Amino acid sequence: MPKEWITREGETLALRGEWTLEHYPMLKQELGKAAGDSAPEVTLEGFERLDTAGAALLIDLVGVERARNVDEWADALPEAQRALIKRIAEAMDVSLEIDTGSSNRLTLMLASIGENVEGLWRQQHQLLGFVGLVLATLLPVMINPKRWRVTATVAHIQQSGLNAVPIVMLLTFMVGAVVAFLGATVLESFGATVYTINLVAFSFLREFGVLLAAILLAGRTASAFTAQLGAMKSSEEIDALKALGLDPIELLVLPRIMAMLVSLPLLAFIGMFSGLLGGAVVSAVSLDIPFSQFMNTVQNSIPLHHFLVGLSKAPVFAFVIAVIGCLEGFKVAGSAQSVGAHTTSSVVQSIFMVILIDAMAALFFMEMGW
């Protein structure tokens, strides 16, 4: 680099020429020799070329604060070069101190609670928005049979419904047996063990049959929906569908929702029957109540509306579980860690919403006298 590009005139350095990355090592060496120990005054007579490397050297020489005010003392420079110097100075003017925040535990706890509440509000807001989007897409599809995705819906019915029958039957059978054991133990002291039949029938027809089936599908199917859609989101398959002019809601979400609306009521019915069967087996073995007496008592003493009340909750649970599972799948950011986090979130949200809706429905039906 020619030395006349840096000219010392007393305590002042006049800078000119090409200040680019190509000459960076030579510029840095010559500046070290010319500047000395003290920060000199600098005049800029015009650079032939100036890039970010040269601007950074200039800022190291004059300081960040003066570089940010370059318009005041170097108005002879072209506007583009002055803008570059100011931009680099602003980028270099970053504090390296880390704010550790307040050490007050009460403040930290309240802040954490506030963040969680705000996150819950955003989550529910997104869920309501997604429900509206699904319903807006569902209505035009329902009135146009040509747009029904029958093959995809049947495939999801097999995956979410038919394949879940064994686990639903086994679980509800065992819970029915446990309820019968508990009822017999409590009612035996009152000499009313025969009412164990009523206890098992009421609990499974109104609550346990549909609730256990919904919780199982929330853990089994909602997670599967999230993982499937999350994997598609990560591999940009959903973006490809949009590029082809296809609606991901219609193509991916609606078949899953329709499959759940078909599967969960059937699984709830199977769960009710299996729970009653478990109670009947325990009653026959432990209480010497024949199976025929058990079924006659259920038929004659349990009104039909208890069965209808329990079954009426199944479509609501199915819709909520499917919507949450699909929404969390669309929220996946693209990494394997994000897929796992949203899969866990979908299971937790689904189970929470199922239990919350069931509790609200129980209070409503009790007030209505149903």
Q: What is the pLDDT of residues 172-186, one digit of tens each?
A: 999 999 999 888 888
Instruction: Provide the 3-class DSSP secondary structure of residue 41.
Output: strand
Please say whether the beta carbons of 328 and 349 come within 8 A. yes
Report, as an integer, the average pLDDT of 241-254: 88
Per-residue b or e along 154-191, where b marks 16 or more CB atoms closer than 10 Å to that residue's CB: eebbebbbeebeeebbebbbebbbebbbebbeebeeee
Residue 289: count other Cβ atoms within 10 Å of its Cβ: 21
pTM here?
0.68
Q: Which two tokens stand for residue 97?
A: 């101190």
Tell me: pLDDT of 348 over 70.
yes
Residues 6+ apart with CB under 8 A from 15: 5, 6, 42, 43, 44, 45, 47, 58
> DSSP string spanning 302-364?
S-HHHHHHHHHHHHHHHHHHHHHHHHHHHT--SSHHHHHHHHHHHHHHHHHHHHHHHHHHHHH
Residues 276-292 pLDDT 10s: 999 999 888 888 888 88
Contact between residue 302 and residue 211 where contact means Cβ atoms under 8 Å apart? no
Q: Between vectors from CA 264 to CA 258 and to CA 266, what angle results, nearest 5°?
A: 110
**CA distances (Å), 255 to each of 162, 166, 321, in order?**
16, 23, 14
- Three-state secondary structure call for residue 46: strand
In this predicted model, what pLDDT tens digit does every residue of 83-106 receive, in sequence order? 877 777 777 765 545 555 556 788
What's the sign of the alpha-carbon dihedral 128, 129, 132, 138? Answer: negative
pLDDT above 60: residue 298: yes
What integer is the mean pLDDT of 60-67? 74
Domain boundaries of the chain, sorted by first residue: 3-92, 125-368
